[in-house]
Amino acid sequence: MLNLERLRTLDALARHGSVSGAAEGLHVTTSAVSQQMSKLEREVGQQLVAKNGRGVRLTDAGQLLADHAARILSQVELAQADIEAQRGQVVGEVRIGAFPTAARGLFPGAVSRLRAAHPDLRVRTRELEPELGIRAVMRGDLDLAVVLDWSNRRLPVPAGLAQAQLVDDAPDVAMPAAHPLAARREVDLEEFADDEWVSWPEGEFCHDWLVFTLRARGIEPRISHLAAEHHTQLALIAAGLGVCVTPRLGRGPVPEGVVLVPVRQRMLRHVYAVWRADADRRPSIRAAVEVLREAATERPAPTAS
């Protein structure tokens, strides 16, 4: 009989394309992955993995079994969801990831409410950028991820994932109080063509969005400073080192000397939750989505100096 954990290892190897990637995804050592694959090969009596340069590749037999493994694991997920749904109780464990401002703006209220309403449910959270969160859900490392995209640049959501809208977040432009546009009620992004920008790190979805959006308006952005945390970005603005787009979700106190001005062009961050469709009937998933929606609705208004 095929061992489920070994099939899970094969599935991870197929998804990640490397032993190290599979080990990271499964939170085990590379030697543990190799040992599980060796045992699986003995069980089926065929070679499943072959060396490919410094890495490995699946043989034809390995790919065939990996395809079956993906379907088997999906059926196991469905069985677990059905059992939970039949019991009708929110129990067990739910693992939730979110990009940083959503983690800061939604997790404290949502997780506290979830624990109070369902004391037998263990909740684990972590910060992850949107694309990484989607991959983690697809791999089974997370049960639920809070992700985002922008009204003019959507984030591809793979087939097999369900999603629920949480909130639309309208950002502002943050600028030093001495900036010529600081007294305006609204601004256009084109008006910052000559300004230096503070942005998210390269490769992050929001950094790519900023470059895409400015170039679409005929602006080649002068990005001088990169910072992952919004409070770091705002500290740089307070020092007079540029301007930035700052979201309202998860925004803390704005430093003295920084002014926030809404953008005239309608720009929205769409914030939503994604989870595997085959886990849709799990009461814990439904409960988590519900409290995230409530936290998004009841979040406090952003503060500004």
**Structure tokens of 58?**
């699946």
Q: What is the pLDDT at residue 2?
A: 84
Q: What is the pLDDT at residue 215?
A: 92
Residue type for position 43: E
Q: What is the pLDDT at residue 85?
A: 61
Of 146 and 21, the structure prediction assigns the larger pLDDT to 146
Prediction pTM value: 0.73
Looking at every residue in the chain, the average pLDDT score rounds to: 88
Contact indicator for 3, 43 with CB cutoff of 8 Å? yes
Lowest mean pLDDT among 20-29, 194-203, 270-279, 293-302: 293-302
Q: What is the pLDDT at residue 171?
A: 87
Contact indicator for 120, 91 with CB cutoff of 8 Å? yes
Lowest mean pLDDT among 52-56, 73-77, 81-85, 267-271: 81-85
Q: Which of 229, 171, 152, 168 is nearest to 198 (CA)?
A: 229
Q: What is the pLDDT at residue 305?
A: 37
The pLDDT of residue 87 is above 70: no
Residue 143, burial from CB neighbour count under 10 angstroms (0-12, 13-18, 19+): buried
| Range 151-170 average pLDDT | 89
| Range 77-95 average pLDDT | 73
For the stretch 3-46, pLDDT in tens is 888 998 998 888 888 898 888 777 788 999 999 999 999 999 99
Q: Distance (Å, rounded) from C-alpha 93 to C-alpha 263?
A: 41
Q: What is the pLDDT at residue 168?
A: 92
pLDDT band at 304 (very low <50, low <70, confident <90, very high): very low
